[in-house]
Amino acid sequence: MTSERKKRIQIVLLAAIVLAAGRAAYILYQRQAEKAEQAKRQAPPLNADYYVMPKKLHAYDLKSAKELTQQPVWAKEGYRYTYYPYDRAKHRSDFSHEAGLLLPIERLEIKDVVTDVSPGSRDQRQVMAVFEKDGKSYSFPIGSVKGGNYQIYSDEMLYIQDPHELYKHWPAEVWQSIEKHEVKAGMNEIQADFAIGMGVPQRSDDPSVKTVQYPNGGNPLTITYRNGKAAEIKAGSSAAMDHFKIGDFSFAGPCSST
């Protein structure tokens, strides 16, 4: 075999090797691209609710708490916070008579923030938000003061931005159900809270399943969420919430139901 022929064979072999390597690389690339596309199709869409960051007032005394009067506010948890008749002339809340509970995302115009007597305590006073409803004045506690030290928890109780704007990405039919105080299958827990108020979650061993009981203003509902969506909605007793009393001054501050 001549040297020239050997060179030709070597060139052909080299070309074959290069071609095979290129084909292998192309096949590998195709497989990786297919896997990435499949993973992209299977990945759930990002939940826009996670990116909602409501503004907070960060009130630390009576003066800063009065900034609640600068804009409308909305109750974060309906059927949880008790309000009382308020005598504007005497600057006193009638704690002996409960006037009602704030409704789910009820819109309020806070007229003033004052301190008032604290039932059962001589050295502590309540910080009260005063508002008007149906031509009458009412108040509800948003904090306390003792020895000049304030505890204001209005940020946990109230939105200072319109929830309709905060969650404007929700479909119109969801907002229609919320306005009617109705929960429908497929709604998430925040949407249900906006519709029927605060709930008390029950223990579950399955992280994908969550059962929550709602007092719902005297019409209790039990909702089972599966993978974050309402799957079962049942009317029934809310015995588990009979002890859950907010607004009676026996608690240090509100806690989140979600």
Tens-digit pLDDT profile for residues 144-193: 999 999 999 999 999 999 999 999 999 999 999 999 999 999 999 999 99
Is the model's pLDDT at 127 over the cut of 70? yes
pLDDT of residue 230: 97
In a domain, residue 174? The reply is yes
Per-residue confidence (pLDDT) for residue 236, from 0 to 100: 78
Q: Tokens standing for 94?
A: 């009638």
In-domain check, residue 92: yes
Average per-residue pLDDT for the chain = 86
Q: What is the CATH number of the domain that holds 179?
A: 3.30.1450
78 and 113 housed in the same domain = yes
Place of tokens 């209005």: 154
* Statement: residue 62 has pLDDT above 60: yes
Listing DSSP states for 14-53 in one string gives: HHHHHHHHHHHHHHHHHHHHHHHHHHHHHSPPP-GGGG--
Residue ending a domain, among 159, 181, 216, is: 159
**115 and 143 inside one domain:** yes
CB under 8 Å, gap of 24 or more: what pairs does 188-193 form?
188/49, 188/225, 188/228, 188/229, 188/230, 189/225, 189/228, 189/230, 189/258, 190/49, 190/258, 192/223, 192/230, 193/77, 193/78, 193/104, 193/257, 193/258
In a domain, 120, yes or no: yes
| 194 band by pLDDT with thresholds 50, 70 and 90 | very high
What is the pLDDT at residue 121?
A: 84
* Distance separating alpha carbons of residues 136 and 133, to the nearest angstrom: 5
The better pLDDT of the pair 118, 84 is held by 84
Q: Are residues 75 and 153 in the same domain?
A: yes
Percentage above 70 pLDDT, the chain:
77
Mutual angle of helices 189-196 and 172-179, in 10-degree steps: 30
Element containing residue 163 per DSSP (H, E): helix 163-166
Domain count for the chain: 3
Residues 75 and 148 in one domain: yes
66 pLDDT higher than 70: yes
Specify the pLDDT at position 256: 38
The structure's pTM equals: 0.76
Specify the pLDDT at position 254.
45
**Predicted confidence (pLDDT) at residue 257 exceeds the cutoff of 50:** no
pLDDT above 60: residue 13:
yes
Q: Are residues 155 and 207 in the same domain?
A: no
Whether residue 46 is contained in a domain is answered as no
Residues 154 and 193 in one domain: no
Taking 90 as the threshold, does the pLDDT of residue 34 lie above it? Answer: no
DSSP structural state of residue 9: H
Domain of residue 223, residue span: 170-241
- Both 179 and 142 in one domain: the answer is no
Answer yes or no: is pLDDT of 65 > 50: yes
pLDDT in tens, 75-108: 999 999 999 999 999 999 999 999 999 999 999 9
How confident is residue 239, by pLDDT bands cut at 50, 70 and 90? low
Residue 152 lies in a domain: yes
* Domain annotation covers residue 54: no
Structure tokens at 152: 């204001």
CA distances from 191 to 126, 177, 227 (A): 31, 9, 15
In terms of domains, do 227 and 176 share one? yes
- Among 2-16, 92-106, 109-123, 162-176, where is mean pLDDT lowest? 2-16
For the segment 13-24, the average pLDDT, to the nearest whole number, is 66
Q: What is the pLDDT of residue 248?
A: 43
Answer whether residue 256 is part of any domain: no
Residues 6+ apart with CB under 8 A from 55: 160, 161
> 159, 192, 210 — which closes off a domain?
159
Tell me, yes or no, whether 153 and 68 share the same domain: yes
Claim to verify: residue 206 and residue 153 sit in the same structural domain: no
pLDDT > 90? residue 14: no
